[in-house]
């Protein structure tokens, strides 16, 4: 009698935005059991938490945990943690956008790793990207590899932090959603906008502009972008 393999499990760091929802959709096709974790840190666009809850229910995740991490809001001063600081299109003196939340992904991946340990998940999936991003240092592949090593060492368990979007541009991220026949769901039901507007958003904040440029590129060059995506996925 052949041995029955254990079901594969993954935990997705899930904000309800375009990137994490696309990762979630892909994970549902690739893993037997998919869980989600969403962080409430008092973010400016905290409507994303309700969006994440709705999507988790409609996509039928095995579980969805919303974790209170408002202590981050007390420590990290950013346009995403202070309504009094307008979202700027200009970089700060340190070369970073004022929407950068110091330590956010360090905290989120640490907490996700702890929760994954309890769930018996070896894989934590996050939608960070180094190709088409806002200049956040905690979205770089070097940082992710460092966190993966730290989690594995700190809990004496092999962890894999999967980053399906790491080398994709925004057009290719749209193509990935379309590959799983979920482009319209991602377009209409996710929240990427820093001003908290679902779908196409406010059209002005840096996040909306990046998202829209990627969508326009994909819709105008679907075949080319999809081929580029498939080439990257096959490597």
pLDDT tens digits for 195-230? 889 999 999 988 899 999 999 999 999 999 999 999
In a domain, 84, yes or no: yes
- Helix (H) or strand (E) holding 219, with range, is helix 206-220
In a domain, 107, yes or no: yes
In a domain, 3, yes or no: no
For residue 192, report the phi and psi dihedrals to the nearest 5 degrees.
Answer: -110, -20
The answer to whether the annotation marks 22 as part of a ligand binding site is: yes
In a domain, 1, yes or no: no
Domain of 55, CATH number, reads: 3.40.50.620
- Domain containing residue 104: 9-234
Task: Please tell me the predicted confidence (pLDDT) of residue 206.
Answer: 86
- End-to-end CA, the chain: 35
In a domain, 4, yes or no: no
In a domain, 77, yes or no: yes
Asked if 158 contacts 152 with a C-beta cutoff of 8 angstroms, the reply is yes
The answer to whether the annotation marks 139 as part of a ligand binding site is: no
The answer to whether the annotation marks 18 as part of a ligand binding site is: yes
User: Does residue 153 register a pLDDT over 80?
Assistant: yes
Number of domains in the chain: 1
In a domain, 2, yes or no: no
Percent residues over pLDDT 90 in the chain: 69
Task: Please tell me the predicted confidence (pLDDT) of residue 235.
Answer: 79
The answer to whether the annotation marks 129 as part of a ligand binding site is: no
Residue the block writes with tokens 């400016």: 44
The answer to whether the annotation marks 19 as part of a ligand binding site is: yes
In a domain, 180, yes or no: yes
The answer to whether the annotation marks 145 as part of a ligand binding site is: no
Work out the mean pLDDT of the chain and round it to a whole number: 89
């Amino acid at each position: 009698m052949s041995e029955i393999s254990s079901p594969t499990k993954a935990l997705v760091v899930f904000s309800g935005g375009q990137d994490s929802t696309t990762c979630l959709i892909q994970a549902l096709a690739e893993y037997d059991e998919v869980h989600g974790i969403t962080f409430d840190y008092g973010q400016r666009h905290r409507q994303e938490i309700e969006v994440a809850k709705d999507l988790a229910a409609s996509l039928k995740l095995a579980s969805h945990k919303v974790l209170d991490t408002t202590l981050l809001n007390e420590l990290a001063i950013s346009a995403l943690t202070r309504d009094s600081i307008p979202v700027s299109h200009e970089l700060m003196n340190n070369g970073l956008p004022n929407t950068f939340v110091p330590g956010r992904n360090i905290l989120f991946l640490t907490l996700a790793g702890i929760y994954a340990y309890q769930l018996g998940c070896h894989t934590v999936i996050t939608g960070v990207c180094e190709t088409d991003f806002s200049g956040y240092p905690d979205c770089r592949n070097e940082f992710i590899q460092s966190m993966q090593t730290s989690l594995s060492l700190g809990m004496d368990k092999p962890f894999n932090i999967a980053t399906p979007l790491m080398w994709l541009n925004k057009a290719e991220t749209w193509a990935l959603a379309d590959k799983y026949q979920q482009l319209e769901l991602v377009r209409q039901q996710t929240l990427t906008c820093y001003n908290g507007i679902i779908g196409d958003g406010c059209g002005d904040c840096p996040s909306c502009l990046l998202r829209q440029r990627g969508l326009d590129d994909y819709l105008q060059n679907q075949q080319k972008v999809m081929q580029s995506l498939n080439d990257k996925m096959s490597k």
